[in-house]
Amino acid sequence: MSRTLRTIAMVFGLVLIATPAFAADGAPLISFTASFGAAVTIIGASLGFAKIGSAALESIARQPEAAGDIRGAMLLAAALLEGATFFALIVCIVKGAA
pLDDT (tens digit per residue) in 45-75? 999 999 999 999 999 999 999 999 999 999 9
Query: Positive or negative, the Cα torsion across 57, 63, 68, 72?
Result: negative
For the chain, the average pLDDT equals 82
> Domain extents for the chain?
1-31, 32-98
Instruction: Please return the burial class of 10, using the count of CB atoms within 10 Å of its CB with bins 0-12, 13-18 and 19+.
Output: exposed
| CA distance linking residue 4 with residue 30, whole number of Å | 23
pTM of the model: 0.65
Confidence of residue 29 (pLDDT cuts 50, 70, 90): low
Does the domain made of 32-98 have the CATH classification 2.60.420.10?
Answer: no
